[in-house]
A and B are shown apart, each in its own frame.
Chain A
């Protein structure tokens, strides 16, 4: 019963009970504290390898692609829907972009633009299935995601496309500007754009409104279906960008290269909702969430932890993330 816990509301200023004041605080700032603790512990345990500028740049670089795909997912989640197709979609589009260059011979910019459009189109299809047919978004995107896996195998026969990938394409991800990897710069630009779109534009306000209360939004003159479709398209385009940057980093289009981004993106989005706001999804929170995950993986790698720890870490962090997120919402309930 939600009312039970409402006693803890009180804007976190109930001085009478430790439990009542500590939990809301943790739900709001726990992720930031967690990130700080993680950095402190890793720095202490691995003073040579971890706390160096090059390692931090390395972590940011590794986190970039995850942040971009998670940023897109955040938009879908804000509008009140889930998109499970993003990982498969990113994998497929990474294969497609190399295929378009190597097999079709399209110039690099054209191939990139085409793939971004295909990503947005996949989002469009997801949105149409969810809004016009009324399929629950979990089911709809699980379905489209699986179809995309099939398309991917059909297109590439499951073999990586590695030969003949243009250097210009590989340099996108591997190059640096003023010592900063391109991926990081692209990520910062994408996050800036997403933040402005969500927080400072009319479509962003509509996305937030629809996620908050679709009925009230409709009666306030917001075209609910169109807004949801646009949110899916933004999400799809971000997945495409992650897929093609990954292909660029790897120097090849690999069939299931980006599948793993799905879980970490969800963990980042939910961790983010428990950051600074009361269980509300937002772009900057997602960046924080993704950084926590990246720092965690980096720490595991530095200590040479066996692979299975990574899975344990990933699963645990997803549960902690969603748990913190719902705690935040409970305390925010008016």
Chain B
């Protein structure tokens, strides 16, 4: 990471950095490669979920993040383990990039007792407390104030943590975004609003939902530092997030980051749906040429940091982890019906 000699904010953070996912260690050595590995891993996981979805073992809606991997990688790798994220219905990549447990996630999709929610939530409620994935919430905009409230608690307790609210381009149409942004600005809370603009709310394009104006104005109007960047450029996402994190830790308040990207697959489910009429194949192709994973691979190859041998090693290691996680999920028992009365 760029600031190797920065003192970790707490002893706990220092310990956490040497444990867990290995992201922190990777980051220290080689940021571009760490971003690439994170994105490649998420891509392979989502593709494997899509491939196996027809088996009817994952019996819950899935909102895949294929095409949007640079945002989760760039944002989450700029955070420390004790920082908290709150995600949305499209939560897989956020959860995984932040260090969420893959086995617990897949087991949850399979409705198993070993799932991160014990089979109570499905794919839209995944969370992992040790990893700092506070919550994922499926109602558009609903998690934005929850992340803001986490930031309020951090400020009230004087702890140097940061909270991130992931949101989509439609969430800024919800009043609750503005309510949370206003409060965060008034109280200078350590929260970062990360707007992943993938241009569609389900099948409805941004242009019929909002005036043709930059999304970032919606942060600025609340007095919040707001920037827009290429959401398919993981390094750009990382550096803007890191700047926002530094501002938040310094007590300088919230940020609003808009990352333009594109959802490759259908809103919900494992398929491509460019044929059903709400967007064109040509539009999809222009975005696929700017594949965040491919762009980073090409860059690493140009810099001599990635070759065919290294790529095969990475894929083998990632795929082995994924297969092992699916084996775990499939082998885990379903929860017992009597358990549903617990925690109700």
Same complex origin of A and B: no
Instruction: List residues of B whose CB falls within 8 A of some A CB.
Output: none
Contact residues of A with B, CB < 8 Å? Answer: none
